[in-house]
Amino acid sequence: MQGSKLTRSSKKDVTDLPHDWTSERFTVVDAGSSRIALQDAVHNRFVAKGASSAHRNADKLPNWGSLKFEVYPAGNGEIVLYNKLHNKMLRMSGSKVDMSKSKKPGDLPDTWTWERFRVVRVKPYLQPGSTVALWCKHHRRYVKMNPGSNPGSFLLARARASYANHTQNDTLIQFPAFKFTFPKITDIVKKAAEEAKKTATKVTTSTKTPKPKVAKAVPKDGRIVRSSERSGDGIPDSWKWERFTVVDAGNGQVAFHNSMHNRFMKMTWDKKMVVSKAKTVDALPSTWTAERFTVVPAGKGEFVFHNSLRNRMIRMTKSEVDASGKKSPQSLPKSWKSERFQLVPAKPYLQPGTIVFLISHPEKGS
């Protein structure tokens, strides 16, 4: 795919797809009714009738018949891609990629070889189930998840906790279990009058202007932040908050889950990167769209992570990790350095395939 056109690559053996060939990779998207659509993340377009569609994210497939294909076996491990709307098949001729003459796949002539394709499975840029760290070369730091809920719910929870701790013991006088002599009512009135007089004198004689209260900085609990400065060679074993499990979010998208905090990375409407509600790695709700990201190659081994709901990318600034200005993935400016990340493999807590034994210390238990 080259922009709005479907073209042929240079000649290459079926097993020799170069890693940096990004325009030849397509995400298979479920189009319903046993049909599929093919989307290219770099150009942010779908394969259409002999061309490519207008810009559309992988999770925003339009209800356009020209983008939907039925897959039929063609023998010898090959398939044909049939578009029912036009009653034609996708084909590659000696010079271009277009559509065949009208023909149902069941009537495919043996001499029609341009319509036959072999599917080559390639590894996604981020393999679901793998553990990675995200390193920004521009700032030489990793993405890090702080514990807790997002800032709004964190403050609310703190307020609720404060109210919950405010019991009757704070407002009711607890009398000791011995005799108590109440003062005379005249003494109480006299003392109250003296205190009121002192207060009035202070108000009229004081010339000092009270200092304005300075709001305390909002804590970064529940926020996605930057690590300390470090090279992109890897993270220490003790760094737990910088490790993310890659979760298949459907339509070629991924979600990032931190096992230590049991939460996903999330992009809010006000350009913040926060943590989701507590949720296990295998329980990503289908309705959670702010936690889903498209992985888009940005050249030189770097990638950007685009959220379709917000139409923004994850960004690392000089002080935090937030969301970029609104930008479609195919329109990434060359000057945008803070949105580019390298994928650094990280050790999972238990490496699949390793053999371990488990030790318990009952004397240290609760």
Confirm whether 176 is domain-assigned.
Answer: no
Residue 143 in tokens = 């993405």
Which helix or strand (DSSP H or E) is residue 153 part of? Answer: helix 151-164
Q: In this structure, are 249 and 331 located in the same domain?
A: yes
Determine how many CB atoms are found less than 10 A away from the CB of residue 269.
Answer: 10
Confirm whether 314 is domain-assigned.
Answer: yes
Confirm whether 341 is domain-assigned.
Answer: yes
User: Can you give the CATH number for the domain in which 150 is found?
Assistant: 2.80.10.50
* CB-CB contact of 339 with 323 (8 Å): no
Q: In this structure, are 271 and 135 located in the same domain?
A: yes
Composition of the chain by helix, strand, coil, percent to 5: 15, 30, 60
Round to whole Å and give the CA distance between 90 and 40: 16
Q: In this structure, are 143 and 112 located in the same domain?
A: no
Round to whole Å and give the CA distance between 183 and 195: 17
Q: In this structure, are 85 and 234 located in the same domain?
A: no
Which helix or strand (DSSP H or E) is residue 296 part of? Answer: strand 293-299
Q: In this structure, are 116 and 146 located in the same domain?
A: no
Q: In this structure, are 235 and 332 located in the same domain?
A: yes
Q: In this structure, are 72 and 110 located in the same domain?
A: yes
Q: What is the pLDDT of residue 158?
A: 41
Q: In this structure, are 136 and 17 located in the same domain?
A: no
Q: In the block, which residue shows the tokens 């050790």?
A: 347
Confirm whether 198 is domain-assigned.
Answer: no
Confirm whether 165 is domain-assigned.
Answer: no
Which domain covers residue 226, as residue numbers? 131-154+220-345
Confirm whether 302 is domain-assigned.
Answer: yes
- Please give the span between the terminal C-alpha atoms of the chain, in angstroms, as a whole number: 61
Which helix or strand (DSSP H or E) is residue 250 part of? Answer: strand 244-250
* Segments of the chain scoring below 70 in pLDDT: 148-220, 350-354, 361-366
Output b/e per residue, 201-212; b: 16+ Cβ within 10 A. Answer: eeeeeeeeeeee
pTM listed for this prediction: 0.73
Count structural domains, the chain.
2
* CB-CB contact of 224 with 144 (8 Å): yes
Confirm whether 325 is domain-assigned.
Answer: yes
Q: In this structure, are 276 and 321 located in the same domain?
A: yes
